[in-house]
Structure 1
Amino acid sequence: MTTLQTIRSKIWGAIKLSLNGQQQDYTQGSIPKAIFLLAIPMILELSLESVFAVVDMFFVSKLGQNAIATVGLTESVITIVYSIAIGLSTAATAIVARRIGEKNPADAAHAGAQALISCLIATVILSLSGIFFAPQILALMGASGEVVRDGAIFTRIMLGSSLVIMLLFLINGIFRGAGDAAMAMKSLWIASILNIILCPVFIHFFGLKGAATATVIGRSCGVIFQVYHLFKGSGILKFHKANFRWDPHVMKTIISIAWPATLQFIIASGSWIILTRLVAETGGTAASAGYQIAFRNFVFFILPCWGLSNAAATLVGQNLGAKRIDRAEQSVMLTAKYNAILMSFVMLLFLFFSRSIVRVFTTEQVVLNYAGTALQIIGSGFIFYAIAMVMSQALNGAGDTKTPTWINFVCFWLFQVPLAYLLAKGLHMNSVGAIIAIPVAEALIALVSWYYFKKGKWKKVQL
């Protein structure tokens, strides 16, 4: 066997090992191998989700500008739901990973069950708000009367199904904390594949509301798969009824980690909402549609970056639990390096082939021009996105969720939003000015996050 064949055999063997869900000890052995075993299923998990996002936009775009704008504006609001889900997921990942690193799977399952209880409580308000105030929410986002009229049912279905979104994110966070990235991948694959299959069919028969219905059905099936494996599966985590008894101490720990993490993502998503509205105000429906197409493509390529970042969070949590602090730090630095290399290729793709990419989604020249320009501008900051994500997730994985929250507040709300308004309205650059603020702010976040990670406060967090 040649050297090349040996390398291929080892790589293929590692890929199969990462996807079969076999329990691994990530607190010892090769760090690059640990990153690889965790990151492959995480990248594949999020990549298919991003494929669905693009496929969904492809079929929705056939319904016209109003449909595109409705989906984009609704998704901007739903990012608040995602923020809460990711906040709870971050807390669950950090605590479960710490307990697994301590070789205490029973307490890991107990912490995960308490996180599920907090999820159910948080969802009630979100779902009811979406069901009863969908038209007002769209109007608040700056949607035209036609968009509100045509899109309210889509928004009502999507926001009304907040529980499914929350559970899908949270339970996958529990699986990741346990190091079972393959199970998280499988559940999201089930949800995404069903979405991809049902989306064009439901849109054909039911229009825009069909897209929302297909998404809810797909995600619900993913959650059913997750719940089955939490209670009946063969993984390291085994949930029992006793785990769901109210535990004030564990709940307090979850909330203390989750609320800054939730606020962290609300701050980030809130700034995106402001920028989405600013683009609509200064560029009109065509600019808003073009921006949404660019944003969906951005999501398509950035989610694999999240996969590597989530691997860093798991490695930090488990190695801190095992008292292997140096290994935790080495894991993060190596993951950041891999992420930056990966995203540098994506950056070049967006800079030089943006028009070719967005032409798949629209034939309207004015929308195509807006989308192509937006994609180039956003794509120029991919290396910074890569570094910022790894550093932020590493801090979150250690349970230090307050530091990334402050970083997001300063860099997004005190820097990005004012800069966007200055460029868009003050300097009359309109929607282009608003979009330029995105990579500039992300560069600042990357530098500040790197600085605080190197300071090492995260090493002393107790969970």
Structure 2
Amino acid sequence: MLNPKIKQILKLSIPAAVNNFFDMFQLIIDMIMLGRVSPASIAAVGVSMQFIGLLYAIMSVFNVGVSAIVSRYIGAKDKENAEKTVFNVAFISFLFSIPITILSFLYPEIIFKFMNTSEEVKENGIIYLRILSITFPMLFIEAVLYSSLNAASDTKTPLKIGIFANIINTILDYILIFGKFGFEPLGVKGAAIATTTAYIISFLIYLYLFLSKKLILSLHFKLDKEIIKKSLKIGIPSGIERAITYGSFLVFVKLIAEYGTYTLAGYQIGLRIEGLAFMPGFGFTIAAMALVGQNLGAKNPEEAEKSAILTAKIAAIFMGFMGLFMIFIPEYIALIFTDDKKTIEEASLYLKIVGISQIPLAITFVLSGALRSAGATKTTLFINGFSLWVLRIIPAYILSKIFGNILYIYLAMTFETYIKALILYYIFKKGDWKWIKI
């Protein structure tokens, strides 16, 4: 029989992991279907999603802030202030999304010029990103609502919404990309319309549930400057950290793009497959954030530490198991996305290398999330910023120039993952995060 603590962790993490899987699945469906169109279509959507990743980094200013504060209020059994926090953070995130939406809609070509993609990839990517940009304000608000539910230990509601949105996306992808049931085949444009529609429906469901007070939390419509200041104080370092992280990913992709469209397409497929292995890690990260925040709110820091360490151990087992598939059968997994032999070879090389780093990656996910939930966002900002640029990007660039082989770029990435996991474990066990006041 399972230990009650393990059962609690699994109860929180499994729905969150499955929901994250469906978020990834939505993109995977796009790429699988577009893989039957052309490698350039895959690359275009993949590069677009790198930008969306940067967008989610900016959203983390609000997501981490609302998660840390709401989880503490829930632990302290102060529901009114928890609900007030949700409304205030959602409101400020919406205001912040407006200029980003306008710039993304008017000038989507900037990202593809920066990535130095081929003209065909750029043309397809502009179409995809411009259509998707109209949903950005909704994505900002939904991310806050989603994070607040997770912080309150409700990971099942986001899962149900995610499943429904994915069904919509999959059906529309099939109809619009290939032109079924009398529709004109739209390729990348069809994928963008399908994903946009799914995002809109998902947002409307969240909004209805919060407004109808059918969930553990609702919206308390009262502006509070102190709550906004508090959330930004916690969230801004996390947002900077995520922006640095995804900015480094963009630079990383730029290095890879120099090896040609097939290598870039293979990397994007490999990244999506690795993303499936991330899902348990993300789920356990959400569990760790909720448990750490709630235990700190209940004035029980020792239990917060024990919960985070146990969560990291379970996450390492799950992600290590996923890593075995990436090491031993990468070709068969890549075949799901494309039948292009060269692209499969490139994707397989990436998967074999990163498969060996899944266990330290799990530790990195969980302990970073635990530290953020405790309010130690400046600490994670420094560790992740230093690690990504000094231990990953710079060595990858130097090795690429010396050897001219993509293998060394991937090896640099794997080395950095191991070192960062060790640093985070040391900082977490040191325990200074237990006494941070929010």
User: 2:246: which partner in 1?
Assistant: 269
* Compared CA separation, residues 216 and 178, structure 1 to 2 (3 A): same
User: 1:168: which partner in 2?
Assistant: 142
1:312 aligns with 2:288: yes
State the Cα distance separating 1:367 from its structure 2 match. Answer: 1.1
1:458 aligns with 2:433: yes
User: 2:414: which partner in 1?
Assistant: 439
Name the aligned partner's letter for residue 456 of structure 1. Answer: G
- 1:48 aligned residue (22, 41, 44): 22
State the Cα distance separating 1:262 from its structure 2 match. Answer: 0.8
- 1:210 aligned residue (173, 176, 190): 190
**Whole-Å separation in 2 of the counterparts to 1:274 and 1:137:** 11
User: 2:279: which partner in 1?
Assistant: 303
Identity percentage of aligned residues: 30
**Whole-Å separation in 1 of the counterparts to 2:347 and 2:396:** 18
- 1:238 aligned residue (185, 209, 218): 218
Name the aligned partner's letter for residue 260 of structure 1. Answer: P
**Whole-Å separation in 1 of the counterparts to 2:12 and 2:124:** 42
Maintained 8 Å contact 2:280/2:319: no
Gapped runs of 5+ residues in structure 1? 1-6, 12-28
**Whole-Å separation in 2 of the counterparts to 1:369 and 1:93:** 41
- 1:382 aligned residue (348, 358, 373): 358
Maintained 8 Å contact 1:92/1:254: yes
Gapped runs of 5+ residues in structure 2? 179-184
State the Cα distance separating 1:148 from its structure 2 match. Answer: 1.9
1:66 aligns with 2:40: yes
1:191 aligns with 2:165: yes
**Whole-Å separation in 2 of the counterparts to 1:50 and 1:238:** 27
State the Cα distance separating 1:31 from its structure 2 match. Answer: 2.0
Maintained 8 Å contact 1:50/1:301: no
User: 2:230: which partner in 1?
Assistant: 253
Alignment of 1:390-409 (within 5 A): 390-409=366-385
Question: How many equivalent pairs are there?
Answer: 432
**Whole-Å separation in 2 of the counterparts to 1:147 and 1:345:** 35
Superposition RMSD in Å: 1.5
Maintained 8 Å contact 1:192/1:219: no
Structure 1 window deviating more from structure 2 (199-208 vs 325-334): it is: 199-208
What is the TM-score when the length of structure 2 is the normalising length?
A: 0.95
User: 1:127: which partner in 2?
Assistant: 101
Name the aligned partner's letter for residue 73 of structure 1. Answer: V
State the Cα distance separating 1:186 from its structure 2 match. Answer: 2.0
Maintained 8 Å contact 2:18/2:159: yes
What is the TM-score when the length of structure 1 is the normalising length?
A: 0.90
**Whole-Å separation in 1 of the counterparts to 2:275 and 2:124:** 25
**Whole-Å separation in 1 of the counterparts to 2:422 and 2:57:** 23
Q: 2:329 aligns to what SS in structure 1?
A: helix
**Whole-Å separation in 2 of the counterparts to 1:329 and 1:225:** 35
**Whole-Å separation in 2 of the counterparts to 1:372 and 1:454:** 36
User: 2:341: which partner in 1?
Assistant: 365
State the Cα distance separating 1:344 from its structure 2 match. Answer: 1.4
State the Cα distance separating 1:263 from its structure 2 match. Answer: 1.0
1:428 aligns with 2:404: yes
Name the aligned partner's letter for residue 340 of structure 1. Answer: A
State the Cα distance separating 1:295 from its structure 2 match. Answer: 0.6
User: 2:304: which partner in 1?
Assistant: 328
State the Cα distance separating 1:349 from its structure 2 match. Answer: 0.9
Maintained 8 Å contact 2:14/2:280: no
User: 2:331: which partner in 1?
Assistant: 355
User: 1:3: which partner in 2?
Assistant: none
**Whole-Å separation in 1 of the counterparts to 2:159 and 2:291:** 17
**Whole-Å separation in 2 of the counterparts to 1:383 and 1:149:** 38
**Whole-Å separation in 2 of the counterparts to 1:234 and 1:160:** 28
State the Cα distance separating 1:422 from its structure 2 match. Answer: 1.6
Q: 2:299 aligns to what SS in structure 1?
A: coil
**Whole-Å separation in 1 of the counterparts to 2:288 and 2:256:** 34
